[in-house]
Amino acid sequence: MSGRIRETRPGFATALVAALALAMIALGLWRLESSRAGLSIERLASTDGPPIWLYQQADATAETAPIVVIAHGFAGSRQLMDAYALTLARAGYRVLSFDFLGHGRNRTPLSGALDEVAGATQRLLAETEQVIALALKMDDAGTGIALLGHSMATDILARAALRAPSVKAVVGVAVYSDAITATGPDNLLILNGAWEPRLHPHALRYLRQIDPTAEMGQTVRDPANGLGRRAVIAPSVEHVGILYSPTALAETVAWLDATFARASPLGAVQATGPWIVLLLTGIVLLAGPLATLLAAALPSATGPARFSPLRLKAGGFTAVMLISALGAVALAGGLTYGLNDLLGMRLLPVLVADYLLLHLAIQGVFALILAKRFSGASGWRDLIGPAPVLPALLLVAYGLGVFGVALDRYGGSFITTPERAPIIAVLALGAVPLMLADAVLTEGGRAPLWRRLTLRLVFFASLGAAVALNPGKLFFLAISFPVIVLFFIAYGWMGRSVALAARTPTAAGLGLGLCLAWALGVTFPYFILL
């Protein structure tokens, strides 16, 4: 018993971790805020159209700086493109960065078929042209504008550039578009990550539309004359990492400088990716010492004696894990589309959220019922233990109010709009049972490592099986995979710290369930199928 008490009593190790975490947070904040020093970043007032932010040097004059319009990819946001926006602003450009329909702070839902040019693409294109029109009004010097986009936006921007002669250059990050031809768009820079080889043949094809003998890394024609083209592979990055690649950022500045006959100042390129990781890692690590302080403040009624290991042998654990996963795969799809047909509409105006809600709920509820059965627990309280509300709420407050706010400022949109609040609330009906089951089966992080890893791998396998069985309807479920992986890494650590402090896994399960519902609710595009 005394050994467990020492786990939650502040000591030298706890103080050392706290000091390290605070140092990481301070260094990360300093470097990230330094990248914004001397810049003006403001949201433009607008009664209609998408939310737009203007990035420029604080002393910039409107007549001299060329304008670059930046657009994010599918399920992205304006913040995700900040490395490019900040770099270009520091280089002396003015940047208009915006949130697409159904993304980030944009409160208007996206609609239309996603796989048809005449569907959602046309709505995104019309919205982009609104931002281009604003950029052209701001282009007092008449130098023209440039466009920069990631992933899905590369197709939208290629089409927009072909319809706007004032667009002098396009920078495509992780490019794929059927709209790119030998005649346009003008001055196209293609940036792909080395760890995304499926895009490399397309980049070479776009390059060889102009010169059949061209190779990657070669500039075809002179961008100063209008129809230049270049394709570059950024080393050691993939689809998201390329948004922070120093190589890609430097290539972007050099390409736009060549287009607009400018010479940007040295030091404009500042890769923020490592500092974002450092800051968020520090926040996660700090949760441990804070939870230890929480343990010391909790009433003795929730002391160490309250925590009892789950009486579940390896065979029973395996059965619980597999049956609940297979049950979710077998039932969630039929229930989702049956309810959709019955109601004549989807339950939630977010892509694949209907299915995900039921998948999470079924897997979580099945796992809890089976765990009670195989463990021999006399009742639910015997299985899950006490559920202190305060530790759960503190976990939510820290996870959303500290980690989430930092992520929203430096990494990607995490602060929700009012339209998404009901979606998050409904998703919690599935996320809370799943995370309660996860907390029980992992004993709040005390279970052997193999159990914790296997449980998460089986969960991902169940989602992967669902996509494989119905790729036409559930393809976009894959968007949730990296979100949930990062969730288990970051929030999982914070939840484990709280579970050890509260001496019950239920506190972590409740808190993490609410945090997972929030993370999923703000990630998927707000979408209405017409």
Q: What is the pLDDT of residue 45?
A: 81
| Domain extent listing, the chain | 1-34, 36-269, 321-528
Task: Read off the pLDDT of each residue in 485-513 and give the average, rounded to a whole number.
Answer: 90
Start-to-end CA distance of the chain, whole Å, equals: 61
pLDDT at residue 94, rounded to an integer = 96
pLDDT tens column, 422-468? 889 999 999 999 999 999 999 888 888 898 999 999 999 999 999 99
- Confidence label for 6 from pLDDT (cuts 50, 70 and 90): very low
The pLDDT tens digits of the residues spanning 193-214 come to 999 999 999 999 999 999 999 9
d(Cα 99, Cα 127) in Å, to the nearest integer? 10
- Write down the pLDDT at residue 2: 37
* The domain made up of 36-269 is a member of CATH 3.40.50.1820: yes
Q: What's the pLDDT score for residue 424?
A: 93
pLDDT at position 305: 45
Q: How far apart are CA 177 and CA 180, in angstroms?
A: 6
Mean pLDDT of the chain: 88
- 212-230: b (≥16 Cβ within 10 Å) or e: eebeeeebbeebeeebbbb
Alpha-carbon distance of 431 to 412, in angstroms, equals 21
Q: Which helix (H) or strand (E) holds 95?
A: strand 94-98
Confidence grade of residue 410 (pLDDT, cut at 50, 70, 90)? very high
What does pTM read for this prediction?
Answer: 0.91
Strands 52-57 and 39-43: antiparallel
